């Protein structure tokens, strides 16, 4: 269910105007999508923080605009405590979108009780589903995870109609043997040094020009 937030229109500005807005307890925002003109908005900081804290991404915008929107991106301060800016994208009922959803482990691993070391490789995963069916989290039960066992992407349980956009064989969580013990499987010989993998990060586009 979408959470309702009352928003106001605002004039585009630079750092100073955005700082004044935040000092007043509001967060600068932009609404775009569906090939319509972007709209600059201000959002009550406490209402937005509450929605994010509850894991809500689907928002019913009210007030200056009356549209259903999805929190596409949040910009945080350097300490990761305060929201500085939010991007909303317009969505309609039953529209399929892609979203990054956090993964949360549930239960206690028997392997850990025996001295094993739990390693969570994936903390979030990208999915595609209808906008009103996006789960707040994907829960992974580790109560059966013994030493040497692992859970992969294909083992995840997601709502019906949800498509996981990741390698099915990618490991989500694994229980390693206790420290000091060597796993039986030997690493394959490598003829030469492997090329390092370069992981690119998508550069965020700025909403406004900074003055």
**CATH topology agreement for domains 3-92 and 98-176:** no
Identify the CATH homologous superfamily for domain 98-176.
Ribosomal protein L25, C-terminal domain (2.170.120.20)
| Whole-number Å distance between alpha carbons of 177 and 76 | 38
**Residue 82 φ/ψ, nearest 5 degrees:** -110, 135
- Highest averaged pLDDT of the listed ranges 64-68, 90-94, 130-134: 64-68
| Nearest to 74, CA basis, from 93, 59, 87, 56 | 87
- 149 has a pLDDT exceeding 90: yes
Cβ pair 120, 106 in contact under 8 A: no
| Whole-number Å distance between alpha carbons of 96 and 92 | 9
pLDDT at 196: 42
Q: Tell me whether residue 143 is exposed, middle or buried, using C-beta atoms within 10 angstroms of its C-beta: 0 to 12, 13 to 18, 19 or more.
A: exposed
- 31 has a pLDDT exceeding 60: yes
Identify the CATH homologous superfamily for domain 3-92.
Ribosomal Protein L25; Chain P (2.40.240.10)
Name which residue leads in pLDDT, 85 or 186: 85
Mean pLDDT of 8-22: 88
Residue spans of the domains in the chain: they are 3-92, 98-176
Residue 118 confidence class, pLDDT cut points 50, 70, 90: very high
């Amino acid at each position: 269910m979408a959470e309702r937030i009352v928003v106001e229109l605002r004039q585009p500005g630079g750092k100073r105007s955005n700082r004044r807005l935040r000092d007043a307890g509001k967060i600068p925002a932009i609404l775009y999508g569906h090939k319509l003109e972007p709209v600059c908005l201000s959002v009550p900081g406490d209402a937005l923080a509450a929605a994010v804290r509850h894991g809500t991404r689907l928002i019913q915008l009210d007030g200056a605009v009356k549209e259903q929107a999805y929190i596409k991106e949040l910009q945080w301060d350097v300490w990761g405590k305060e929201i500085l800016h939010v991007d909303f994208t317009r969505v309609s009922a039953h529209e399929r979108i892609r979203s990054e959803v956090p993964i949360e482990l549930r239960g206690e691993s028997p392997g850990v009780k025996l001295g094993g070391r739990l390693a969570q490789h994936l903390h979030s995963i990208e999915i595609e589903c209808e906008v009103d069916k996006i789960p707040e989290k994907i829960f992974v039960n580790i109560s059966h995870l013994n030493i040497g066992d692992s859970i992969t992407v294909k083992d995840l349980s997601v709502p019906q109609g949800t498509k996981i956009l990741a390698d099915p064989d990618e490991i989500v969580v694994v229980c390693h043997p206790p420290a000091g013990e060597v796993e039986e499987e030997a690493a394959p010989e490598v003829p030469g040094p492997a090329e390092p993998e370069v992981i690119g990060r998508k550069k965020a586009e700025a909403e406004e020009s900074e003055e």
